[in-house]
Amino acid sequence: MSRTRRSSSALLGFALMLVLLVLAMATPARADTLIVRARTTPGASPVADALTRLELVSQGGSITGAIPELGIYRLEVPTSRSQRLRSDPAGNGLVWAQHDVVMRTSLVPNDPGYAYQWWAGSINLPPVWGLPEIASPVTVAVLDTGVNTDLPEFTGRFVDGIDIVTGSTAPGAWQDTYGHGTEVASVAAAAGNNGYGIAGVSWSARIMPVKLGSSGSFSSFDAAQGVTYAADHGARVINMSWGAPSRSYPVADAVAYARGLGVVMAAAAGNNYGGAVEYPAAEPGVIAVSATTSTNALAAFSAIGSAVDLAAPGSSVVSVAPYGGLVLVSGTSFSSPMVAGVAALLLSAAPDLTPAALESFLKSSALDLGPTGPDPSFGAGLVDAAAALTSVLGSATTTTTTTQTSTTTTTQPETTTTTQATTTTTSGRGSRGETTTTLPPVGTTTTTTQATTTTTQATTTTTTQATTTTTQVSTTTTTTQPPTTTTTIKRRRG
Ligand SMILES: [Ca+2]
């Protein structure tokens, strides 16, 4: 093409652009964003580009973007025309016509345990992480054996920790020396993408460690006091990964009190192999969570029954060990903090949600498993973080107001001795059947090869190695080990 022809083409193109501008200004109300590809690829020719533009806007709408080299244009067109173009692109001179497809960043957290966190995908967490909507922190109370105060997973996020038994609020008082509480807190709220441990459900939640005891069982009085303390100190979410087969009146009253203050509560359904849902999970106002496996089956150890509200992964869940390192844990104890963590995410996005509305969003967005509709194994289904957040954000303009029930006092029959209520202890579902499997050391760089090869080990339930103590786990995670070696990981049920 000669220089003269090229410049005349440019002039013609410019003139056509002016015509287009006038046409665009006369365009009626926009209704739909559509991306189309013209049948004739204009290439870099300004004339062809201008002619294509003219043709596209001649039937209404405007062009808001173009990739002329590919013949691709972004249009704002009335809905009726959008439908016509999409249903019959060829008949409208197009190769294809498509709505905009939202592309999201694919954040793969760099936490060494993440390679084994099948559960994060299972509850659809990755699309949620990093969204600005979930940035404002919500306080989650972890009523358990305390939380390790020194792990990088929780740095700067502890609020109002307490040892309920002694009443001490000194950090040393609610230090976790048992492990269950740290594991539970990690699942709910371990910092993600910090190169350490795992990626918990909520990376920004404030954590209120409410230590009920230093072993796998607690007094129901202490549990009731813990629930009350958490509610009084601003917890929006309470996690209770413990329970008992019989109802505890003090805990029932405390739960009703917290609910009256607008606290969302999640509890482990129980690990009684198909037995009835335990308390406080079965209490009204508490979200009872059963446990699923990596194949979305019900975990064999999970409690079932009509009291089950939701299901979440609870079998071979990788978590952070009490003194650092990774630990494979199983139990409804770890299903519950997943729901608690998702509840915190939803409250971050919509702080005015009532517990009833939040529970409703969780259930209506859950993945229905088992028989269609609610069932005794999975309740409303497997919790889906992204779907729940989407539904909450989608209704953000609608304020849901639910009448808060005032504190319900549990009536204890006169003929019943007080023995039941006062001696009920809640089991922290202490470890049993501990075996070990291997995972890379926490805090060290995990190569892709390493992750790939050991994923199998993480999901294999029968991987055997000599049983190690917690102390040994802690020792082997020091940086004296080369990054490429593996370390032990405890397996326990909680
Ligand atoms: Ca982490």
Which position among 219, 333, 336, 431 bears the catalytic label?
A: 333
Which position among 62, 180, 315, 330 bears the catalytic label?
A: 180
Q: Is 274 helix (H, G, I), strand (E, B) or coil?
A: coil
Q: Known catalytic residue: 333?
A: yes
Centre of ligand 1 from the C-alpha of residue 177, in Å: 20
- Print burial letters for 67-86: b (CB count within 10 Å at least 16), e (below 16): ebeebbbebbbbeebbebbb
Give me the pLDDT at residue 24, please.
46
Give me the pLDDT at residue 16, please.
53
Residue whose token pair is 């501008």: 21
CA–CA distance, 54 with 471 (Å, rounded to integer): 74
Centre of ligand 1 from the C-alpha of residue 35, in Å: 40
Q: Known catalytic residue: 232?
A: no
Centre of ligand 1 from the C-alpha of residue 490, in Å: 18
Give me the pLDDT at residue 106, please.
58
Q: Using CA atoms of 85, 90, 96, 98 in order, give the dihedral in degrees to the nearest 10.
A: 20
For residue 84, the surrounding DSSP H or E stretch is helix 79-87
Which position among 49, 111, 144, 309 bears the catalytic label?
A: 144
Centre of ligand 1 from the C-alpha of residue 305, in Å: 34
Centre of ligand 1 from the C-alpha of residue 163, in Å: 25
Give me the pLDDT at residue 206, please.
97
Centre of ligand 1 from the C-alpha of residue 378, in Å: 29
Centre of ligand 1 from the C-alpha of residue 153, in Å: 5
Give me the pLDDT at residue 488, please.
45
Centre of ligand 1 from the C-alpha of residue 136, in Å: 19
pLDDT tens sequence for the chain (494 residues): 444 455 555 565 555 555 444 444 444 444 678 899 988 766 668 888 888 899 999 888 899 999 988 889 999 998 888 889 988 999 998 999 987 665 555 578 999 999 999 999 999 999 898 887 787 899 999 999 999 999 999 999 999 999 999 999 998 999 999 999 999 999 999 999 999 999 999 999 999 999 999 998 999 999 999 999 999 999 999 999 999 999 999 999 999 999 999 999 999 999 999 999 999 999 999 999 999 999 999 999 999 999 999 999 999 999 999 888 999 999 999 999 999 999 999 999 999 999 999 999 999 999 999 999 999 999 999 999 999 999 998 875 433 333 333 333 333 333 332 223 322 334 444 332 222 333 443 333 222 222 222 332 333 333 323 322 222 222 222 222 223 333 345 566 66
Whether this prediction's pTM lies above 0.95 is answered by: no
Centre of ligand 1 from the C-alpha of residue 198, in Å: 4
Give me the pLDDT at residue 130, please.
80
- Beta strands 139-144 and 310-313, pairing class: unpaired
Q: Known catalytic residue: 180?
A: yes
Centre of ligand 1 from the C-alpha of residue 417, in Å: 48
CA–CA distance, 386 with 124 (Å, rounded to integer): 6
Say how far residue 304 (Cα) sits from the centre of its chain: 23
Judge contact between 309 and 374, C-beta under 8 A: no
Centre of ligand 1 from the C-alpha of residue 237, in Å: 21
Give me the pLDDT at residue 64, please.
93
